[in-house]
């Protein structure tokens, strides 16, 4: 991927996060919605936007994606005001299952009860 596309994807990701977190007034969208990745096509016409839920409530994922898809016009309007891009891309929102899996593994690891290891000096006595 070219530097130009990478910079555009990065700026788009940060701006989308700002819009979703601070400018959307829908109660179904909360501070636990994160834009985990954005990939823009080389012609700037389309962008795949991966959304993660950092609160672990994955049952809300489909509803959040539906709300974001219905709000695409509002989001694109805000993007056009905040970014200087050749085109404001069509946004394709999808749930980031990789992030969900990583958070689930972290939860499982944190729930394990691993006994503390004793010092080697004490076990030799």
pLDDT bin (cut points 50, 70, 90) of residue 120 is low
The SS3 assignment for 29 reads coil
Q: What is the model's pTM? A: 0.76
CATH number, position 100: 3.30.300.20
pLDDT bin (cut points 50, 70, 90) of residue 1 is low
d(CA 61, CA 96): 9
Q: Convert the pLDDT of each residue in 74-88 to its tens digit.
A: 999 999 999 988 889
DSSP 51-119: EEETTS-GGGHHHHHHHHHHTHHHHHHHHHHH---SSPPEEEEEE-HHHHHHHHHHHHHHH--PPPPPP
d(CA 25, CA 75): 12
d(CA 67, CA 61): 10
pLDDT, average across residues 64-82: 94
Counting the structural domains of the chain, the total is 1
| Per-residue pLDDT, 16 | 96
The SS3 assignment for 24 reads coil
| Domain coverage including residue 106 | 3-124
Q: Convert the pLDDT of each residue in 3-50 to its tens digit.
A: 988 999 999 999 999 999 999 988 888 778 899 999 999 999 999 999
d(CA 32, CA 21): 9
d(CA 35, CA 68): 11
């Amino acid at each position: 991927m070219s530097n130009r596309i990478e910079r555009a994807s990065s700026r788009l990701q940060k701006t989308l996060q700002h819009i979703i977190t601070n400018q959307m007034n829908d109660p179904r969208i909360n501070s636990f919605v994160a834009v985990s990745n954005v990939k823009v096509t080389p012609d700037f016409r389309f962008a795949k936007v991966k959304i993660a839920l950092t609160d672990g409530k994955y049952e809300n994922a489909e509803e959040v994606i539906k709300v974001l898809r219905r709000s695409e016009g509002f989001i694109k309007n805000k993007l056009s005001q905040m970014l200087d891009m050749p085109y404001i891309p069509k946004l394709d929102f999808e749930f980031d299952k990789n992030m969900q899996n990583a958070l689930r593994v972290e939860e499982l690891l944190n729930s394990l009860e691993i006994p503390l290891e004793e010092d080697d000096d004490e076990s030799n006595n």
